[in-house]
Every structure is written in C-alpha cells, then in structure tokens.
Amino acid sequence: MPVLLLVIILGIVEGVTEYLPVSSTGHLILATELLGFDAAAWAVFNVAIQPGAILAVVVLYWRTFRDVIVGLFHRSPSAIAFVRNIALAFLPAAVLGVALGNYIDMLLENAVVVCWALIIGGIAILVVERFARPQDCGGVAAVSMRQSASIGLVQCLAMIPGVSRSGATILGAMSFGVDRKTAAEFSFFLAVPTLSGATALQLFKHWDDIPTGQFAWIGLGSLVSFIVAVIVVKAFMAIVTRYGFAPFAWYRIVAGAAALAWLGMR
C-alpha cells in the first residue's frame, strides 16, 4: 500500500475516533497493523496528527472559547470556574504523562493490549449506562471542583491504548453525577490541553527519530483528521442524545474480539 494512502486512512481514523468513546490511539495501532505496517514506526505519527482533531473542537466551539477569554478579562465567575475545572482535570494526566512516558511508549506498540482494553471498556460503558444517575448540572463551569478532579483521575486510564480518553472522561463524569451533554462537552474541552500536551511531549522526545519525509505526512494527516473530526463531533452529540453510549459499547466489544481473533490467526 502506498504511504500516501496509509496517511489518509490514519487521518480519517483519528478524526472519526478521537471524540468517540472507542479509543483513537487503539484504532490507529490496529489500523497500522491491519494494513501491514510496523506500528512502532508510526507510533509518533499517530500522536502527532492529533492537532487536527484539537483544532476541530476549537473551531466548532469558538464562541465558548471567546466567551471564556473575554470573561477572564472581566473576572467573570463562570469563566474562572470553567478554566479552573479544565485545569483540575488536566493536571493528573500531565503529571503521570511525564512520569510514565517510557512505559506509555511501550504500550503504544502493543495491539493485544488494545483489543482487551476495547472489550473491557465496552463492558464498563454498559455498566455505567445501566447504573449511573447523572443530573443536569448546567454546563462545564457548573461542575464542582471535586467532580473535575475525579474526571481528571479517570482520564489517566486512557494512557492505556484502547481505553479511550473521551470514553473514560465522559463515562467517568456520568458516574460522578454529570449529565450526558455536559460530560461530552467537558471531554471535548479537556481534549485541548490534554492532546496538545501529549503531542508536544512526544515530538520533544522523538523529534530526532522522525524521518524527514514524515513531517509532510504529519501535516496531511492532521488536515484530514481536522475535516473528519468537525463532521463527527456534530453527529456524535445527536447520537448520544438519542441513543446514549450503548451502541459504542457494543461496537468496542465486537471490534476488540474480532481484532483479537485476527491477531491470533496471523
């Protein structure tokens, strides 16, 4: 397969899966393996194209970001609470990401870990959907400091490829009493510092290891992921509002089991 086609496919996979509770990193690892490429050689690329997905949230929610920035200048309580909550949720991942960086790099090359994480995560989603009793809390700024910190701790589970950052934060938020819409938006906004930090860390650590030609591929992959993510985020909110997260849970279980069987028969 031509490298150009692989880059486009990985960009599409990133854009489709980054904000769905199905694990973008896990899907990128499996896609690379399925297409016959060395997952380890493309591990940094898979992280480096995340800025495209980050930009999608910034573009779609630009009014929210604008209001928060303006509100900070005017010392608006809601703007301060918004930034405080996102910062509290981001902190645990920032600390552990730096402390466990080498171990995380090893997991990024393990497709079997992805399969089991997809299956277990799917079961966890079904359990949360069945027993969680979230209540309308009125938006990200209205989430309590305790809930925000707890969501941040749960997000750290996503350092295991296949767990899903969005899935962990959304379902974690719901478990702590946050309603679906606010939980999804909290996850979207939290993605901006989290993915930006993860991308910056990987590029800093592996800059010299990236083949010269792959920088152009990273740019193309980011562009593709941006376009796809813009479409997916809009559709995701409509699906969740109507059907909940159960469809994604069953998809995870089936996809993880199928990929595990395929890896076993190779």
Per-residue pLDDT tens listing for the chain (266 residues): 688 888 999 999 999 998 888 888 788 888 887 887 776 777 778 888 888 988 999 999 999 999 999 999 999 999 999 999 999 999 998 888 766 656 665 655 677 888 888 999 999 999 988 887 777 778 899 999 999 999 999 998 888 878 888 889 998 999 998 988 899 899 999 999 988 888 887 778 777 777 776 788 889 999 999 999 999 988 888 888 778 888 999 999 999 999 888 888 86
Closest CA to 231 of 8, 7, 12, 10: 12
Are 60 and 22 in contact, with CB atoms under 8 Å apart? no
Question: Full-prediction pTM beyond 0.75?
Answer: yes
Q: How far is it, in rounded angstroms, from Cα 102 to Cα 153?
A: 20
Structure tokens at 73: 């200048």
Q: How far is it, in rounded angstroms, from Cα 115 to Cα 254?
A: 10
Q: pLDDT value at position 106?
A: 61
Cα radius of gyration (the chain): 18
Q: pLDDT value at position 242?
A: 79
Count of C-beta atoms within a 10 Å radius of residue 77: 9
Q: pLDDT value at position 245?
A: 86
